[in-house]
Structure 1
Amino acid sequence: MDQKVIIIHAKHYISMTESSNATRIRRLFNEVWTDGNLDVVDEIVADEFVFTRGGEIQTGGVELYKSLVRSTREMFPDMEYTLDDVLVGEDGNAVTVRWTVTATHEGEYMGIEPTHQTIEMEGLELNKFEDGRLVETCTHPHWEGFLEDVGVLPLSSTEP
């Protein structure tokens, strides 16, 4: 069965069969981030890959991408991603993803010792492809959800 994505045109939304770059993004989330298969990174990520999170820009190409996966999987070895939305730009080279990750906090993360708590965090990611290779990712995780799940930041309150 074909996956469906929304292609964004100036003022139109057109549903169509999965674009090749949307398929590549799905492979990265499913095979790399969730399953830990780093060989897929060599197929999809460009040598000039750039990563941005929280305003911090990192360069390092394929090895940077693999390093990000390794370090994240050390902290959350059972992480599982769900792609809630995959939106493809008109030229097919921009792929925006709204994701949810569920995992157990098993390693130090952001200075927070392992809590062994199950976390659920949402995020939004903007990806850019050139010639079928991922050249840039700008990710915006919802950190507050993670911090609340591990008991560091109580977001909800019953007091007025």
Structure 2
Amino acid sequence: MTATIEQNKAIVRRFNKEIIEEGNPQSFQEIVDPAFINHTAAKGMDKGPAGLIHTFENILRPAFSDLKVTIYEQVGEGDKVTTRKTISGIHTGTFMGVAATHQPVIIHVMDMVTIKNGKYYEHWGVNTMMALAAELKAAHTDSK
């Protein structure tokens, strides 16, 4: 494995720790390329850096306290890094219209990132965020 692939994996780990878990705006500026594009952004969402930070700061962080990213596997090839991970926390705020349940939550994620000049340049991913919203809504409805 080349040093570049290992460096790219380290950038992805740093993104997950410093941006998703910690919400560090300086790290976001350092890691995300201004030309970043999220190829799998939700319909109607900004596909650039603004949409990415919006997801973390206006959707995940207000809804879930104690955010933690657990990386299970990373595979690197060329300028791409694929990661299998979970994002977990406690549902302490409104998430997609569902009031806080104070229950632990887990979002499963598989993503692929292109690293260009040491920065996040492109992203493709799948996650269980919508399934989690449906589960929380069902649980909230059942508890009434």
TM-score by length of 2: 0.79
Shift of the alpha carbon at 1:17? 9.2
Shift of the alpha carbon at 1:128? 1.1
Please report the RMSD computed on the Cα atoms of aligned residues, expressed in angstroms. Answer: 2.5
Q: Which residue of 1 aligns with 2:142?
A: none
Where in structure 1 are there 5+ consecutive unaligned residues? 1-6, 8-14, 154-160
Once residues 97 and 89 of structure 2 are traced to their aligned partners in structure 1, the CA distance between those partners, rounded to angstroms, is: 17
Question: Which of 117, 120, 125 is 1:134 aligned to?
Answer: 120
- Establish whether residue 36 from structure 1 lines up as the match of residue 45 from structure 2: no
Q: Which residue of 2 aligns with 1:26?
A: 13
Q: Which residue of 2 aligns with 1:10?
A: none
Query: Among the aligned pairs, what percent are the same residue?
Result: 23
Shift of the alpha carbon at 1:58? 2.8
Higher relative strand content: 1
For the residue of structure 1 that corresponds to 2:81, the secondary structure is strand
Q: Which residue of 2 aligns with 1:3?
A: none
For the residue of structure 2 that corresponds to 1:98, the secondary structure is strand
Q: Which residue of 1 aligns with 2:85?
A: 99
Q: Which residue of 2 aligns with 1:74?
A: 62
For the residue of structure 2 that corresponds to 1:59, the secondary structure is coil
For the residue of structure 2 that corresponds to 1:137, the secondary structure is strand
Where in structure 2 are there 5+ consecutive unaligned residues? 140-144
Higher relative helix content: 2
For the residue of structure 2 that corresponds to 1:77, the secondary structure is strand
Once residues 29 and 137 of structure 2 are traced to their aligned partners in structure 1, the CA distance between those partners, rounded to angstroms, is: 37
Once residues 17 and 107 of structure 1 are traced to their aligned partners in structure 2, the CA distance between those partners, rounded to angstroms, is: 40
Q: Which residue of 2 aligns with 1:48?
A: 35
Shift of the alpha carbon at 1:123? 1.2
For the residue of structure 1 that corresponds to 2:69, the secondary structure is strand
